[in-house]
Amino acid sequence: MNAPRFGFLLKSHDGIIENNQFKNHSDQSLCMINTYQEFGPRVYNILVKDNTFEGAGGWPVKTAQTAQHSLVRPHGRNIFSVVTAAFTLPSGQWDILESSSIELRNLYFTGNKFLNWRQLPALTIMNARNVVIKDNHFIRHKDFIGTDTLWLGKSAIRIIDCDNVIIGHQYFQMGEEETGNQIEIIDSNIP
């Protein structure tokens, strides 16, 4: 899939997303979330396997900071990533609120490649129980990383308000500017 903004909005259950290529989305390439003004449906029993997510997560910008970038933690709005799974609550006509309620379950991410994503974490999982993340590749080429991209220095993986998350081996190949912990855990149970 090669589209200007979004790739795939999933609001279903019991499925496999396998062997796809998502390229150059400025927002989420794969979004597993109830959308604005919805309390459901919830995503569960999903395997995301052997997909490639390339060049997504916000277009590179030099001097302007978009609203999406300014809403990222610590201001809230953790739903922005290349691949996102979350449960939100509607607020007003078009806004949403994050929730700590665990509503998603049985999500598996294995063998995926995240290449040269922009600005935000590659994978964000919120509000989920029974999550397995293993054998994924997170690669940002040195030539791709520049001081003019507003890369926020966030971790490649972000887990928020989750229970029973197993994070297996991951492969990280990052630029020199991005050394350090590539997994951010917030208010979650990692056995």
Poorest-confidence range of 20-24, 46-50, 144-148?
144-148
The per-residue pLDDT for 63 is: 45
Strongest mean pLDDT among 32-36, 128-132, 169-173: 128-132
Q: Is residue 2 part of a domain?
A: no
The per-residue pLDDT for 40 is: 65
Q: What is the DSSP string of 2-22?
A: B-SS--EEE--EEEEEES-EE
The per-residue pLDDT for 91 is: 79
Poorest-confidence range of 82-91, 169-178, 180-189?
169-178
Q: Is residue 3 part of a domain?
A: no
Q: Is residue 88 part of a domain?
A: yes
- Of the two residues 71 and 113, the one the predictor is more confident about is 113
**pLDDT category, 61, cuts 50, 70, 90?**
low
Sort strands 21-23 and 52-54 into parallel, antiparallel or unpaired.
parallel
**pLDDT category, 148, cuts 50, 70, 90?**
very low
The per-residue pLDDT for 55 is: 84
| Domain that residue 100 falls in | 8-186
Poorest-confidence range of 15-19, 36-40, 59-63?
59-63
Q: Is residue 107 part of a domain?
A: yes
Q: Is residue 176 part of a domain?
A: yes
Residue 1 reports pLDDT greater than 60: no
Q: Is residue 172 part of a domain?
A: yes
Q: Is residue 1 part of a domain?
A: no
Residue 60 reports pLDDT greater than 80: no
Q: State mean pLDDT over 171-184.
A: 76
The per-residue pLDDT for 48 is: 98
Q: Is residue 71 part of a domain?
A: yes
Amino acid identity, position 42? R
Instruction: Locate the DSSP E strands across the chain.
Output: 8-10, 13-18, 21-23, 30-33, 44-49, 52-54, 83-86, 88-91, 95-98, 104-110, 113-115, 123-126, 128-134, 137-139, 157-160, 163-167, 171-173, 183-186
Q: State mean pLDDT over 23-47.
A: 82
Number of domains observed in the structure of the chain: 1
